[in-house]
Structures are given as C-alpha cells and as structure tokens.
C-alpha cells in the first residue's frame, strides 16, 4: 500500500482556558490516503476545526503524533512548518482570512512568491481567471462580496498546486447558491489537480460528495464511513 498522506496516532489537544484545562481532542487515530476526499462532520464544538488545524500544523498536538507526508509535525518549528505548508498545503477558512491590505491578485500570489516562484503573479492571475474573478484582480477584500472573497481564498489555496487541500466550512458564511458554486469550484480543483482534500462541513449533501466521512463527537472519532459503504 502507498504511504498515507496523513496519519494521526492517538492525537490529542488540550488547551488551558480561563475555566481550566479543556480536552478538545481526546485521542484520534486515522489515516488519509493519497487522492482521497475526506469529510469531517460532527456537532458544533466537537473539535472538527481543531483537528483540521492540527493537520495543517497551525496548532501543536499536546499528545500522540500527527504525520503529514511522512513528517511528524509536532516537533517542527514555526519556520519549518511554514515552509512545509507552502510546499505541500493549501488552507481555506470559513471566514476567508484574506490579508486586508492586499489586492486579490497579491493575496493569491503571496504563497507562490514566498516559495520563490518567478511567475507567481502570472499564475495568480490565471488562477483568479479560473475562479471567475478576472475583473476583480485589483480589488481589495473589503471591496468584494463574501462569495468573491471566498473564491479568492480558494484561488490562493489552489494556485501553488498543493498535494493537500484543507477547507474548514468554506461555505459556512455564504448563501446556498454561492456556497454551491464555491463547492463546485473546490471539487473541480481537486479533480483537475488530483489533490487530497480534507473538508470540514455541516452540510450532509456535501458530506455525501466525499469519498469518506469521519464523524467526531466530543473530541473523539465516532464513525468512519466510506461512501461506497453508505450507498
């Protein structure tokens, strides 16, 4: 069997909040195969976003191991993680997280520029065209609608052609139609470039489009369902 893209071994996450220690993820283990589309579902507060953050190296596990592309992320430094992300990962958030002081084009070009790509801006422009924003390249985030902003965020995540795409409820802040369009884009990107997609969602119909869904409840893995099995 080929190496898994990601592998969690008893991953734990506890945070010291004001009200004392909170165990957010309480020992999670699973593997994600290359090219797979994995849906993370579960009730609010169950730890889906936290799990995605662990996979993206945006949060440090407090126990167990998080391996992505064969590397254990937990002991890695911030700079090593940053380099790792720009080589292998794209992240899309529910609230877009575009840099407010940069135009759409600059936002999209930034990760490629950071990776030293000479043609960062050309590729960024092409990518924006691909998501249908050719006439918005020089707009700032505040000058765009939520759907447009999320399309920029998608372009930004996909333009460097990452092996892994992480998306945390990318349509949560958008209306149904716009959300649908964004989802089509996201799946289209996955299909075209063959990336592994890990998607947090509340929407059952989205979960159904995934190859596999993992359901979290209260920080623990409750079910792990293959789509084919569900049909």
Ligand X SMILES: Nc1ncnc2c1ncn2[C@@H]1O[C@H](COP(=O)(O)OP(=O)(O)OP(=O)(O)O)[C@@H](O)[C@H]1O
User: By three-state DSSP, how is residue 29 classified?
Assistant: strand
Q: Which is nearer to Mg ion, 49 or 149 (CB)?
A: 49
Q: Which residue number, 5 or 73, has a Cβ lying nearer to other proteins?
A: 73
Q: Which does 101 bind (CB under 5 to 8 A by kind): ligand X, Mg ion, other proteins, none?
A: other proteins
CA distance 143 to 137: 11
Cβ neighbours for 113, distance < 8 A, ≥ 6 positions apart: 120, 121
Token match 């918005």: residue?
Answer: 136
* Owner of token pair 């957010």: 24
Q: Which of 30, 64, 121, 227 binds other proteins (CB under 8 A)?
A: 121
Residue 210: strand, helix, or coil: coil
Nearest residue to 151 via CA among 198, 186, 121, 123: 186
Q: Is 110 in the site for ligand X (CB under 6 A)?
A: no
Lateral strand order in the sheet of 63-68: 20-32, 6-17, 63-68, 71-72
Cβ burial 49-80 (10 Å sphere, 16+ → b, else e): bbbbbbbbbbbebbebebbbbeeebbebeeee
Shortest Å, Cβ 106 to other proteins: 6
**Tokens found for residue 166:** 């992480």
- Dihedral (CA of 71, 77, 80, 83) sign: positive
Q: Contact letters (x/-) for ligand X, 27-56, by CB under 6 A?
A: ---------------x-xxxxxxx------
22 binds, among Mg ion, other proteins, ligand X, none (CB under 5 to 8 A by kind): ligand X
7 binds, among Mg ion, ligand X, other proteins, none (CB under 5 to 8 A by kind): none
Count of positions on this chain that bind ligand X (CB under 6 A): 12
State yes or no: residue 58 binds other proteins (CB under 8 A). Answer: yes
Binding of other proteins by 91 (CB under 8 A): yes
Shortest distance (Å) from residue 23 CB to ligand X? 9
Report the residue from 49, 103, 149, 201 that binds Mg ion according to the rule CB under 5 A. 49
Query: Which residues in the 2-21 window bind ligand X by CB under 6 A?
Result: 15, 17
Q: From the list ligand X, Mg ion, other proteins, none, pick the one residue 24 interacts with, judged by a Cβ distance below 5 to 8 Å according to partner type.
A: ligand X
**DSSP character at residue 202:** S
User: Considering only 2-10, 28-36, 78-86, 183-191, which stretch makes contact with other proteins by CB under 8 A?
Assistant: 78-86
- Residues making contact with other proteins (CB under 8 A): 49-50, 53, 56-60, 78-79, 81-83, 85-87, 91, 93-95, 97-103, 106, 110-111, 113-116, 118, 120-121, 140-143, 156
């Amino acid at each position: 069997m080929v190496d898994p893209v990601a592998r969690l071994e008893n991953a734990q996450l506890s945070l010291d909040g004001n009200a004392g220690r909170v165990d957010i993820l309480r020992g999670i283990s699973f593997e994600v195969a290359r090219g797979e589309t994995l849906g993370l579902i579960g009730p609010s507060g169950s730890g889906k976003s936290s799990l995605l953050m662990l996979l993206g190296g945006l949060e440090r596990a407090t126990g167990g191991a998080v391996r992505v592309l064969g590397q254990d992320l937990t002991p890695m430094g911030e700079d090593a993680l940053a380099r790792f992300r720009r080589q292998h990962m794209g992240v899309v958030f529910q609230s877009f997280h575009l840099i407010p002081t940069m135009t759409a084009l600059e936002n999209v070009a930034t990760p490629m520029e950071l990776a030293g790509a000479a043609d960062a801006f050309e590729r960024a422009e092409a990518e924006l065209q691909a998501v249908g924003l050719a006439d918005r390249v020089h707009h700032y985030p505040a000058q765009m609608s939520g759907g447009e902003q999320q399309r920029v965020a998608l372009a930004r995540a996909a333009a460097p052609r990452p092996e892994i795409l992480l998306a945390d409820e990318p349509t949560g802040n958008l209306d149904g139609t716009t959300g649908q369009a964004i989802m089509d884009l996201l799946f289209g990107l996955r299909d075209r470039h063959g990336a592994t997609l890990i998607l947090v969602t509340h929407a059952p119909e989205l979960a159904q489009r995934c190859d596999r869904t993992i359901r979290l409840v209260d920080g623990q893995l409750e079910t792990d369902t293959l789509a084919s099995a569900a049909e």
